[in-house]
Amino acid sequence: MATPDAGLKTAAIHIQVFSGARTPMPAETQVLFTVMDGYQKILLRDYYRSSLLVQVPFHGNFGDNYTVVAWAEGYEQAGFTPVSVTPGTQTQVSLMLLCKDASFDFKRAEWNALAASHPDYVRILSAGTGDPEAARTRYMKLIEDRPAVLACFFNLVTAMADIHLPAGTPNDYLKQLNWEQMDQDRFLAWSDPMLVSQVAQAAGQGMFAPSVGTALFHPGATRSWKEVQFGEASVKFTFHEADTTMIDGKPCVKVEVGVDYFKDLQAHALVEVIANTLTGSLTDPRDVYRLRWTAARRAGVPDFDPPYLLD
């Protein structure tokens, strides 16, 4: 590692690497770390243990927007930028390394366990069946046949559980999933119409920003908003207010819930998923899992903890 000039102020970056189980990587894991400053000058590129404290120069300009990248044998590369530093302080950066072809581990999401730990998720998953055993059977089939779709659902409802609207969370307003329109990057559902006004009010408080070109990218959509708290893995609500149905004697509107990898591709990046974003391929729930977890750690809010892990 290059030693900062004696005349320069310095700062510190503490990098910690975690696994897809959201636990620290084993101490013996050899991790290749790369640290670059805002000028794209490589200050460090070498193997270390899974936790590293790096002293870096403080320039007082855009050179202080550092990039950190981590890689280990058998894992996908991960990184974060910009990592802004302040002289005399330590900036924390948590990165998650996923195994190549990481698989979904739903042991924590067995039906009875899920009912005990996340009853609201089970309520949403059960809606429309009228029979607890039918709901369980449908759920087990989803695990077996479409695990990426279930992971997407868990990513989204877990993120929404942490979004506090003027009254409740978005999950409180979901009445029934549209099982024919669930995919690995989004789901469609019927919601209480109050969800529209709740998101609109929250947008007025700075929690969401309106999305442009809603009808162009989502035929039939009327309004759309995206969460702005994080730079990565932001929840997006797209409403189809002309598409309604009656559930339990009450009118409901269609809502499409998805996630965008990045708020601003120019300002934030976990580099290996940018290619997927630019080529238009379907969002991978594993990337969303990592991005949302990383963003929450970066923001200092409670950890993102969907009821599944990645092996």
List pLDDT tens digits, range 4-30. 555 569 999 999 999 999 999 998 899
Cα 19 from Cα 30, distance rounded (Å): 13
Residue 270 in this model has a pLDDT that exceeds 70:
no
CA angle at 145 for the pair 272 and 239, rounded to the nearest 5°: 65
Q: What is the pLDDT of residue 271?
A: 39
Assess contact for 271 and 69: CB atoms under 8 A.
yes
DSSP letter string, the chain: -PPPPTTSEEEEEEEEEE-TTSSBPPTT--EEEEEE-TT--EEEEEEE-SEEEEEEEE-SSGGGEEEEEEE-TTB--EEEEEEE--TT-EEEEEEEPPBTTPPEE-GGG-HHHHHHH-HHHHHHHHTTTS-HHHHHHHHHHHHHH-HHHHHHHHHHHHHHHT---SSS-GGGGEEEEEEEEEETTEEEEEE-THHHHHHHHHHHTTSEEEPTTHHHHSTT--EEEEE-S-SEEEEEEEEEEEEEEEETTEEEEEEEEEEEEES-TTT---GGGHHHHHHTPPPPHHHHHHHHHHHHHHHTSSPP--S-EE-
Q: Which residues contact 165 (CB under 8 A, 6 or more apart)?
A: 198, 199, 201, 202
Cα 135 from Cα 128, distance rounded (Å): 9
pLDDT digits (tens, 9 = 90+) for 167-212: 999 999 999 999 999 999 999 999 999 999 999 999 999 999 998 7
Cα 66 from Cα 85, distance rounded (Å): 8
Assess contact for 94 and 298: CB atoms under 8 A.
yes
pLDDT digits (tens, 9 = 90+) for 137-164: 999 999 999 999 999 999 999 999 999 9
261 pLDDT band (50/70/90 cuts)? confident
Strand partners, 60: none
* Average pLDDT value for residue range 217-229: 88
Domains of the chain: 9-96 (2.60.40.3700), 104-310 (no CATH)
Q: What is the pLDDT of residue 227?
A: 95
Strand partners, 253: 191, 244
